[in-house]
Amino acid sequence: DIQMTQYPSTLSAPVGDRVTITCRASQSISIWLAWYQQKPGKAPKVLIYKASSLESGVPSRFSGSGSGTEFTLTISSLQPEDFATYYCQQYNSLPYTFGQGTKLQIK
Amino acid sequence: EVQLGESGGDLVQPGGSLRLSCAASGFPFSTFPMYWVRQAPGRGLEWVSAISQSGVDTYYADSVKGRFTISRDNSKNTLYLQMDSLRAEDTAVYYCAKIRSPTFGEFYFDYWGQGSLVTVSS
């Protein structure tokens, strides 16, 4: 199975800051990576697919980059509604494993 | 509008069984593989199981292999997860999920259900 390592596990930042979350795969997954946002008590919502493609309806302050084994999610200017937990997921091969999550908190 | 709705979650004793259902609508269910993902309280997301469009091919996480069985009824647009020999560590919210497109290799989850809570405890 492909292991996904995500860091940091917790991130504190003020509104307006630029933040980056990193996800590393244990083997190459090409560009088959998605990023999800999850708020308490809700199902995850996809933000980015194919490593850098923005899902329809997602604000442009979210962006993704990377290929192979190293990927990043960047939020260019944090908004109050962005404080949530973020997960990466590889869909290169089954099982479609997730990173352990990054909880983004208000500073 | 795509809708996924799980049901069947409950409190069950260790060693017991439970069957979850996921009713799907708003998309051609029989043409999509389907998935179960779970989330233990306060923990991250864990991919659990997948099933092909016809139901012939099934896949499981090592943590549930031999205990859980995924199935589907395309005539009823419904996905199932039969859970046997339940353990405390199976306690979680269980989500069913669909991918964007099997045709174009877009195997990321674009729709999720609201989740169904399974609690395994004596």
User: Residue A74's closest CA among A3, A2, A24, A21?
Assistant: A21
pLDDT attached to residue B102: 85
CA angle B10, B49, A49 (to 5 degrees): 115
Given pLDDT bands bounded at 50, 70 and 90, which one contains residue B105?
confident
- Give how far A49 is from chain B: nearest CA, Å: 7
- Percent residues over pLDDT 90 in chain B: 95
Q: What is the pLDDT of residue B114?
A: 97
Chain A residues lying within 8 Å of B109, measured CB to CB: 34, 36, 44, 46, 89
Residue of A nearest to B63 (CA): A95
Which pair of tokens denotes residue B81?
């997860």
A13 class by beta-carbon count within 10 Å (0-12 exposed, 13-18 middle, 19+ buried) = middle
Does the distance separating the beta carbons of B35 and A46 come in below 8 Å? no
pLDDT computed for residue A107 by the predictor: 87
Residue that is written with structure tokens 């697919």 in the block: A49
Residue B31 phi/psi, 5-degree rounding, is -100, 5
The low-confidence residues of chain A, meaning pLDDT below 70, are none
> Which residues of B are less than 8 Å from A9 in CB distance?
none
**Cα–chain center distance at B103:** 21
- Please tell me if residue A90 touches chain B, with a CB cutoff of 8 Å: no
Q: Bridge-partner residues for A18, per DSSP?
A: none
B92-99: average pLDDT: 98
Diameter of chain B measured on Cα atoms = 46
User: Measured between CB atoms, does A66 come within 8 Å of chain B?
Assistant: no
B60 close to B68: Cβ distance less than 8 angstroms: yes
